[in-house]
Structure 1
Amino acid sequence: MQIGPYRIDPPVVLAPMAGVTDKPFRLLCKQLGAGLAVSEMTASDPRLWQTRKSLKRMDHEGEPEPVSVQIAGYDPTMLAEAARFNVANGAQIIDINMGCPAKKVCNVWSGSALLQDEPLVARIVKAVVDAVDVPVTLKIRTGWDRQHKNALTIARIAEDNGIAALAVHGRTRADKYEGEAEYDTIAAVKASVRIPVLANGDIVTPQQAKRVLELTGADAVMVGRGAQGRPWIFREISHYLATGELLPEPSPADVSAILLGHLEHLYAFYGELAGVRIARKHLGWYAKDRPENASFRDVVNRADHAHDQLRLTRSYFETLQNEWSLAA
């Protein structure tokens, strides 16, 4: 898949997720096979650009290209300025958020709330595309609710105003993350435009990724929640699409090595105190569906220091590895 001058290969992309797709996670997913990793959304309000959180979100030093940064907001002029600011700060692709269903985002007329105002969508897209010399992409849902599904109209607006690629989460804003993704709507969007389309929603296995590409005709798949605690899903999908073969499930020792590296990067990036706190949700995802998960999380979440968090994590996965080796 091509986005402007950038070839996205493999066509398997990490979806932007607030509080998840920070720099340590993006780098890890790229190392493990993602063709592109989109940043968590950055605010378009310039008053927020110098906060600690924003400065961390805008740190792209050493990140493999292309660097894709998502911006969120409702004001075309402000979003255009945010796009320019992020390009000056290293962004090589700008992504506009019109897909986030979170109440606090929609309540300020951002994210998927924008889908209710098609003229505003057009003004935003045109303003951002005109503001920068890098490709601009757009992420949307299928509509505001099931009575107001307008993904096809939004897709044509996007194409007509210079959007380089369109990611579609196959649910309405009202659906949040419930029910099944509407792959038929994504297929209709793909058939209606000439720009690349990325299919997003419920892609948690290599087999599902292949099925979604076949059902929708999309140019790439975008993986969000399926990568939480399983960042190796990108190489699994990529291998399966290329060969039709499934990679073996990583052993607990393999998972431990990936996770411990992830934890170390979080501590280095955020500092020990914040890194330990941010790591807790990732630890929960990595341990999800594994034996004694609840007990492990109960203990590890009480750890306030990096060395304790690392020791408990190492011990937990060593136990799992011993059990796994005996059963093999």
Structure 2
Amino acid sequence: MTFSAALSLGSDCPVILAPMAGITDLPFRRVVAGFGASLVVSEMVASEDMVRARPSTRAKAELGMGDGHTAVQLAGREAGWMAEAARMLADQGARIIDINMGCPAKKVVGGLSGSALMRDLDHALRLIDAVAGAVDVPVTLKTRLGWDESGLNAPELARRAVAAGVQMVTIHGRTRCQFYKGQADWAAIASVVQAAGVPVIANGDITSPQAARQALAQSGAAGVMVGRGAQGRPWLLAQIAANLSGQPIPQSPQGRVLHALVAEHYDAMLAFYGRDLGVRVARKHLGWYADAACGDPAARRAVLTATDPAQVLALLPDLLSPVQEVAA
């Protein structure tokens, strides 16, 4: 299967949900996809853990059979585990396998995965070869500009990855050593666009339609990937896509519509994780929704400490209604 068959780019600019550990689980991806997204990507999945059937890892890769455009992101250091995990995921229905070579977390890098692979491109290519040779679905790559400012080798990695069969490359406009500090360098992604010869997606600090337009103008990328900007604003991708296609930007949900959306997302998390774990996992999302809505601080504290789902649902109107300033 070709990338264009799995994800029709058409004439519009693709707007993609980034993989985020502990965030882009199946319930959140479904909320984002409900507003419209060219592609949603799972949390990063450790390839060996996936093959060994560790339950928490399987949950991260849960696809939602019958859902729309879904990619699963794999990480690992050993070609054999990467290939076997890719085959398993493709058999389960993943339409695209994305390879993580950009995660900056110390735990991942310490295991010689993620962005650590940018320090050993020959080994990185062995992993790409193994995955591309194991599946018929498209294989994509997500990485950074380089390990540090002295090693900006993303163009070389992209060129070699495409030769090995990668059909799309996403670049976070920072080095590994920057983590998430400073401003993403969208202009630096232009060199990867020139080298790759396949769609390149710009990632990093895409937090508004205006930022998306600036990133595209500076990078020449084919599309954008939205990560932290979607926290508490799962409708942001739809707003960006509308703006890039010249359509009016849809309004952010408010009032009863927002309350219903968050309640449905909350119930989905409880169903996915079970009540006790679901209540804990949901707190970060509820906090982000409250931040985006500028809701009542007292309701925020109450919701984020509540253990009774019924109490949480009852507090949603206060949590999600902007605090009204009292005139002097």
- Give TM-score scaled by structure 2 length: 0.92
Q: Residues 191 and 94 (structure 1 numbering): CA distance in 2 closer, same or farther, change over 3 Å?
A: same
Match of 1:246 in 2: 249
- 2:79 maps to 76
Cα distance, 1:59 vs. partner?
Answer: 2.2
- Aligned residue for 1:3? 3
Q: Report the Cα offset of residue 66 of structure 1.
A: 2.7
- The equivalent of 1:258 in structure 2 is 261
**1:43 paired residue number:** 46
Structure 1: 5+ residue stretches without partners: none
Contact 2:50/2:57 (CA < 8 Å) preserved in 1?
no
RMSD: 2.1
CA distance in 1, matches of 2:308, 2:9: 39
Change (3 A) 1:266 1:77: same
CA distance in 2, matches of 1:231, 1:166: 23
* Mapping for residues 1-150 of structure 1, pairs under 5 Å: 3-6=3-6, 7-8=8-9, 11-46=14-49, 49-150=52-153
8 Å contact 1:4–1:164 — kept in the other structure?
no
CA distance in 1, matches of 2:222, 2:50: 37
1:203 maps onto 2:209 in alignment: no
Q: CA separation in 2, counterparts of 1:198 and 1:44?
A: 24
Per-residue displacement from partner, 1:137-167 (whole Å, max 9, x unpaired)?
0000001111211111111111111101000
Q: Does the CA contact (< 8 Å) of 1:276 and 1:309 recur in 2?
A: no
Shift of 1:48: 6.5
Say if 2:276 is the partner of 1:273.
Answer: yes
Separation of aligned partners in 2, 1:155 and 1:114? 13
Matching residue within 185, 189, 197 for 1:186 = 189
SS of match in other structure, 2:111: coil
Residue identity opposite 2:35 in structure 1: L
Alpha-carbon shift at residue 134 of structure 1 (Å) = 0.7
Poorly superposed stretches of 4+, deviation over 6 Å: none
Change in Cα spacing, 1:176 to 1:294, as seen in structure 2 (3 Å) is: farther
What pairs up with 1:134-173 in 2 under 5 angstroms?
Answer: 134-173=137-176
The percentage of counterpart residues that share the same residue type is 42
Task: Tell me if the contact between 1:14 and 1:34 (Cα under 8 Å) persists in the aligned partners.
Answer: yes
2:286 equivalent to 1:308? no
Aligned length: 323
Instruction: Give unpaired runs (5+ residues) of structure 2.
Output: none
Deviation track 1:160-195 (CA, whole Å, cap 9, x = no partner) reads 111010000000001011111111221111012211
Distance 2:95 2:183 in 1: 33
What is the distance in 2 between the residues matched to 1:98 and 1:20? 19
Contact 2:156 2:195 in 1 (8 A): no
8 Å contact from structure 2 (residues 167, 198) kept in 1: yes
List per-residue Cα deviations over 1:301-328 (Å, max 9, x = no partner). Answer: 21112112211223433x539x59x99x
1:252-299 deviation per Cα after TM superposition (whole angstroms, max 9, x unaligned): 433222211110111111111111110000011111154455433321
Q: TM-score, normalised by structure 1?
A: 0.92
Bigger drift between 42-51 and 95-104 goes to: 42-51
Map Cα deviations across residues 49-76 of structure 1 (whole Å, 9 max, x no partner): 4222122123223442332110111111
| Closer, same or farther: CA 8–314 of 1 in aligned 2, 3 Å | farther
